Amino acid sequence: MARKDLHSSADLPLETPRTWLRRIEIGDFNRVLAIYGDEQSAQFDFYGPFGAADVEQMILSQSDIYLGDPGVPVYLAVLERETGELIGVINLTIDSPIDRQGSIGFVFDRAFHGHGYAFEGANAALQFAFTKLELHRMIAACDTRNERSWKLMERLGMRREAHFVHDGYSADENMWTDSFIYAMLDHEWRPNA
């Protein structure tokens, strides 16, 4: 798989009926911090809430990203088309270019939960991964307690492939946590899932 320069990509932004997805930019800092720094939203996140330095590093890391660089997440801002407000972030990572394997993750502002925006954005990102990046398999992971997340993965048509028991430790909660792993192959993706 050849590296693809995102800076000159005609494939972005991605559009859905109510959103559009583009690379995150330095001007997104405050909104990204509000979303990633929300303790309630980060309750089941593997890395906890982000601080200002974490968000700054995330955004600055995107300046020299090429699609095809293994293990390097590409962060896409999800904007509501009507208002232009940044409502979430989806990340795509090419885990193995040779095997055409990737992963997807997503975080959305709680004010926009339950309205289908995450579904639209994640579905567009999966389409991009399968059709433009030509990936064969995409995976996603979540804490088993994060019902919203795993139900979204199922709505997208992803299948639960694993339940890892006590694969993480939450120091804040002083307890072991479990994870679900979901996956989808390129021929399983449906444009209007």
Q: Which residues partner with 4 through β-bridges? A: 67
Q: Are 106 and 45 in contact (CB under 8 A)?
A: no
pLDDT above 50: residue 8: no
The Cα-based distances of 164 to 38, 93, 152, 179, 184 in angstroms read 26, 21, 19, 5, 18
In a domain, 63, yes or no: yes
pLDDT above 60: residue 156: yes
What is the pairing mode between strands 101-108 and 137-143?
Answer: parallel
Q: What's the CA gap between 90 and 173, in Å, rounded?
A: 26
Could you tell me which residues come within 8 angstroms of residue 101 by beta carbon, excluding any fewer than 6 positions away? 94, 95, 135, 136, 137, 138, 139
Averaged pLDDT score across all residues of the chain: 89
The domain of 153 spans: 4-188
Provide DSSP, 32-66.
HHHHHT-TTGGGG-TT----HHHHHHHHHGGGG-E
pLDDT above 90: residue 82: yes
In a domain, 193, yes or no: no
In a domain, 131, yes or no: yes
- pLDDT tens digits, residue range 34-52? 999 988 877 777 676 899 9
In a domain, 43, yes or no: yes
Domains of the chain: total: 1
- Using pLDDT thresholds of 50, 70 and 90, give the confidence band for residue 67: low
Average pLDDT over residues 154-170: 95
- pLDDT tens digits, residue range 14-32? 999 999 999 999 999 999 9
Give me the CATH number covering residue 51.
3.40.630.30
pLDDT above 60: residue 7: no
